[in-house]
Chain A
Amino acid sequence: MSHHTSIQPADVSVAGLLRTDDLQQLIDALIAAGYDVIGPKIDQCAIVYDQITSVNQLPRGWTDLQEPGRYRLQQSDDSKYFGFAVGPHSWKKYLFPPQSIVSTATRTENGWQFSTDAPPAPRLAFLGVRACELAAIEIQDRVFLHGPWVDPIYKSRRDAVLIVAVNCTSAASTCFCSSTNTGPRCRSGFDLALTEIAGGFVIETGSESGRAIAARLPLESVTEHHHAEASSARAQAEAMMTRKLRTDDLHDLLLGNLKHPHWDDVATRCLSCTNCTMVCPTCFCSTVTDVSDLTNDHVQRERKWDSCFNIDFSYMNGSPVRNSIASRYRQWLTHKLASWQDQFGTLGCVGCGRCITWCPPGIDLTEEVVKLRDAVHANSEDPS
Chain B
Amino acid sequence: MITPFPSSHPHNPWLAHSVRIQRVTQETPGVATYDMAFDDASVAESFQFLPGQFNMIYLPGVGEVAISISGDPGQRGVVPHTIREAGNVTKTLARLPLNSSIALRGPFGSSWPVESCVGKDVVIVAGGIGLAPLRPAILHLLKHRSELDELTLIVGARDSSLLLYPERYDDWRAKGMNVLVTVDRADESWHGCIGMVTAVLDRLWLRDASKTVVMTCGPEVMMWYTVQTAIRRGIPSAQCFLSLERNMNCAIGLCGHCQFGPEFLCKDGPVFCFDRVASRMKVEDL
Contact = CB atoms under 8 A, between A and B. Distances in A.
Contacts of A322: 285-286
Contact of A111 (B101, B252, B264): B101
Interface in A97-134: 102-103, 105, 107, 110-116
A286 B20 contact: no
B103 A314 contact: no
A151 B254 contact: yes
How many of chain A's residues touch chain B, expressed as a range? 35 or more
B14 A290 contact: no
B247 A313 contact: yes
B246 A314 contact: yes
A354 B255 CA distance: 22
B60 A299 contact: yes
Contact of B14 (A103, A299, A327): A103
A316 B259 CA distance: 13
B284 A152 contact: no
**Residue with the greatest number of chain B CB neighbours at <10 A, chosen from A259, A288, A339:** A288
Nearest to A335: B259
A316 B267 contact: no
A342 B102 contact: no
B264 A343 contact: yes
B246 A306 contact: no
How many of chain B's residues touch chain A, expressed as a range? 35 or more
A290 to B, nearest CB: 5
Nearest to A340: B262
Given A112-B103, A323-B285, A327-B284, A290 B63 contact: yes
Interface in A326-343: 326-327, 331, 334-335, 339, 342-343
Given A317-B86, A342-B262, A152 B20 contact: no
A306 B256 contact: yes
B257 A111 contact: no
Nearest to A312: B247
B39 interface: yes
Interface string B12-41: 111111101000000000000000000100
Given A149-B253, A151-B254, A321-B247, A289 B63 contact: yes
14 contacts: A112-B60, A114-B103, A115-B15, A116-B12, A147-B253, A255-B261, A258-B280, A288-B250, A288-B255, A316-B246, A326-B285, A327-B286, A335-B259, A339-B262
